[in-house]
Structure 1
């Protein structure tokens, strides 16, 4: 098992959920003990603890993005008009690494970030190697021609673990797709319940 996979499983175990719905996760096989030699007993969390857990789940799901980046997205969500929780989800789903993951060009947000960093992804015909790049409605995202045969990309495209949501259009044969619109919370296919309202409460304390 690679260090990258081990790290993802640690996030799952710490949070007590199969965060990405992967069949390989220990929690998918009923191993639900938290980290530690014998697995510490979980106490009923305080309001602060519940809010913190909601933040950790949301951050972790998107490849465990840094606190600095996450706080920046929160600040932008607050600045915008409308429901702050929905704004936060929209900003997270507009991240290029999230879009590449949704289009099934990568099997996980971690892998999505990796292939973007390595220059395998193009937006509107230009290479973009910044995972946090904010995708706009109508943007065309594709895997570079020379990268379409990469084993990790082919594996992701052929995976049956998850479906492609309706707010993106994808041609998996040509490894290209379009970001149609920003989703609402109810549109996002999270394998576990996400509570962005608690994340807002956490930062509003």
Structure 2
């Protein structure tokens, strides 16, 4: 498991939402926050607090990527044509670890990051071990042949808690997937409501 795996459910509890839709999330049992003051009534969030929470939720969802890297995605999204929030989602979904997770090659996005880091993935026939590598429409992502029978891969393919979205074509028998197109917010199967427009407002203050 990756270095951050033990902390992932702390993100859930802090936000009070099961952001990955996992059955083991502590939020399924306790919706209040952690610590001795977790059950206190929460006051209404300010505009800044609402924007910050939206940013923390989206950033945490993608294996809690660093603030520096997440801000770079915002800057890049703002340079592209069209809606900045939609562009931001498109960039995040193009990350190689996100594609591996969406294709159900691994059970969690944290495991996806580690899977790529350990050199189990090829893109268009070439080994890529950078989780933040951005795939393009038409790219073929494959699990290295020697890694296709790993327990984590077989278990992930059998998971019934989520489906492969239609912007990815996955063949679990061959251990391959094709990134068909860049998705919009409505295409992405988030288990919770994401608000990239609030993330844009947070950074554009």
Report the TM range for the smaller structure's normalisation: over 0.9
Q: Which residue of 1 aligns with 2:145?
A: 145
Structure 2, unaligned runs of 5 or more: none
Q: Which residue of 2 aligns with 1:39?
A: 38
Q: Which residue of 1 aligns with 2:194?
A: 194
2:181 is aligned with 1:181? yes
What CA deviation, in whole Å up to 9, does each residue of 1:154-202 have, x standing for no partner? 1111111100000000001111010000001000000000000000000
Distance 1:203 1:60 in 2: 16
Aligned pair in 2 of structure 1 residues 40, 31: CA closer, same or farther (>3 Å)?
A: closer
DSSP 3-state at the match of 2:141: strand
Q: Which residue of 1 aligns with 2:8?
A: 8
Q: Which residue of 2 aligns with 1:61?
A: 61
Distance 2:106 2:140 in 1: 17
What CA deviation, in whole Å up to 9, does each residue of 1:18-67 have, x standing for no partner? 01000011112x31120102515222111000000000000000000001
8 Å CA contact 2:98–2:109 kept in 1: the answer is: yes
What CA deviation, in whole Å up to 9, does each residue of 1:66-91 have, x standing for no partner? 01110110000000110000000000
Q: Which residue of 2 aligns with 1:170?
A: 170
Distance 1:24 1:148 in 2: 26
Distance 1:43 1:133 in 2: 40
TM-score scaled by structure 1?
0.96
TM-score scaled by structure 2?
0.96
Kindly report the root-mean-square deviation, in angstroms, between the aligned alpha carbons of the 2 structures.
1.5
Q: Number of residues paired by the alignment?
A: 204
